[in-house]
Structure 1
Amino acid sequence: MVSALIGELPAGWTETNLAEICELTAGAALQESPDGRTTVIKPKNLVGGRITGTFDHVSDEESGRLARYQLKPGDIACVRTGAIGRHASATSEHEGSVFGTGIIRIRPSGDVDARYLDSYLSHPAVLDWLERNAVRSPIPNVSTGVLGTLPVALAPFEVQRSIGRTLHVLNEKVAAHERIARTTAALRDATIPLLFSGTVTIAAEEESPLR
């Protein structure tokens, strides 16, 4: 068995460096426009393994200038400065978005399953490696050169696809439950003042909805 960053690898697996299997591109300085139509991806938009939140924008002209810094499905946006280790995979929803200086784009080669690599970047040993190799002063940051040396465990491609698909399904379930939790919490918060004001009443014989 091969000894690797994440431990002993099964037969048929190999370990290589990220730069050998991906194109790494650091984000560009850009001029934002409140009336722009092109979304800008920043570290604040990488939350819980997803690209989300409130987005800034650039104009069509600026977007054209930054064509080299646009995302396409399968790209992985990784935090370059600040919360090192946060990352998220771009989908068709994010195609054409540009990324700023706080982001490194990881674009896997055709021999690497994007979902597999995205999940690999969440492995505890990988997060520990990023923490240890980041420059600490004054704000934690990691360069494309350093990130490119990250050891990556590569399974046979079909195994990659299977692992990536499985973990993607689990991530989707997590996201669905989080949406349900947020909606339920909002309903609860809206109901509290109504119940305590007498605007809404519950018949005495009704059972608690929690029972």
Structure 2
Amino acid sequence: MAESLIGELPRGWSEASLADVAELTAGTSTTTSEDGSTGVAKPKNLIRGRIAGPPDRIEDNEAQRLSRYRLVAGDIVCVRTGGLGRHALVTSEQHGWVCGTGLIRVRPRATVDRHYLSGYLSHPTVLDWLKRNSVRSPIPSISTTVLGTLPVALPPPDTQRSIGHALHTLDEKIAAHQSIARTTSELRDVLLPLLLDGSVIPPGHG
């Protein structure tokens, strides 16, 4: 078996650098406009492995000027300053947004499954590699060039897709449970004062 960053690889697996299996582009600075129609992904929008929260927006003419930084569904955006290891898959909801400063856009090549690569970037050993290869300063950071040297374990394409599908399914279940938990918590906050002042009495306990 071949040795890799994450340990011995099964027969038929290989290892390549991230730059060999994806195109990496550092995000760009933008000028926010309240009237803008194009969203900008920033580190603040990466929440629990997803792109969420209201984005900053820019004008259409600026978005056109920054076309090389646009996002497409299937891209992965990674934090490059502070909170290293945080990343998220771009979905159809963010298609056309601009990759803002503080992020690195990772665009997997056609031979790499995006869900597999996103899952790989969450591996504990990969997170440790990011920490060890970051610039040591009060706010840790990593450059596009250094991130591109990250060793990536590559199963055969069919295995990548199987692993990626399994990880994506689990991520969707996690997101669904988190949504239920948030909704339940909000409901409790609304009901608590009504229950405690007698405005609402639970059925069967009147």
Class of the TM-score when normalised by the shorter of the 2 chains: over 0.9
Corresponding position of 2:89: 89
Taking the TM superposition and a 5 Å limit, the aligned residue runs for 1:1-211 are 1-202=1-202, 205=205
Give unmatched runs, 5+ long, in structure 2: none
Q: What one-letter code is carried by the residue in structure 1 that aligns with 2:20?
A: E
2: distance between equivalents of 1:194 and 1:102? 44
Corresponding position of 1:209: none
Q: Deviations over 1:116-140 (max 9, x none)?
A: 0011000000001001111121321
Matched position secondary structure for 1:186? helix
2: distance between equivalents of 1:82 and 1:26? 15
Q: Deviations over 1:134-176 (max 9, x none)?
A: 1121321100110000000000000000000110000000000
Give unmatched runs, 5+ long, in structure 1: 207-211
Q: What one-letter code is carried by the residue in structure 1 that aligns with 2:172?
A: E
**How far off its partner does 1:32 sit?**
1.2
Q: What one-letter code is carried by the residue in structure 1 that aligns with 2:160?
A: Q
Matched position secondary structure for 1:188? helix
**How far off its partner does 1:21 sit?**
1.0
**How far off its partner does 1:71 sit?**
0.4
Cα pair distance change 1:201/1:21, threshold 3 Å: same
Q: What one-letter code is carried by the residue in structure 1 that aligns with 2:179?
A: R
Matched position secondary structure for 2:16? strand
2: distance between equivalents of 1:86 and 1:155? 23
Q: What one-letter code is carried by the residue in structure 2 that aligns with 1:96?
A: G
Matched position secondary structure for 2:83? coil
Q: What one-letter code is carried by the residue in structure 2 that aligns with 1:152?
A: V
**How far off its partner does 1:55 sit?**
1.0
Deviation beyond 6 Å, 4+ runs, structure 1: none
**How far off its partner does 1:203 sit?**
5.6
**How far off its partner does 1:204 sit?**
6.0
**How far off its partner does 1:30 sit?**
1.4
Q: How many residues align?
A: 206
TM-score normalised according to structure 1 size:
0.95
Matched position secondary structure for 1:104? strand
Q: Identity percentage over the alignment?
A: 60
Cα pair distance change 1:192/1:123, threshold 3 Å: same
Q: Deviations over 1:41-91 (max 9, x none)?
A: 000111111010121100001100110000001100000111111000101
2: distance between equivalents of 1:19 and 1:74? 16
**How far off its partner does 1:106 sit?**
0.3
Q: What one-letter code is carried by the residue in structure 2 that aligns with 1:118?
A: S
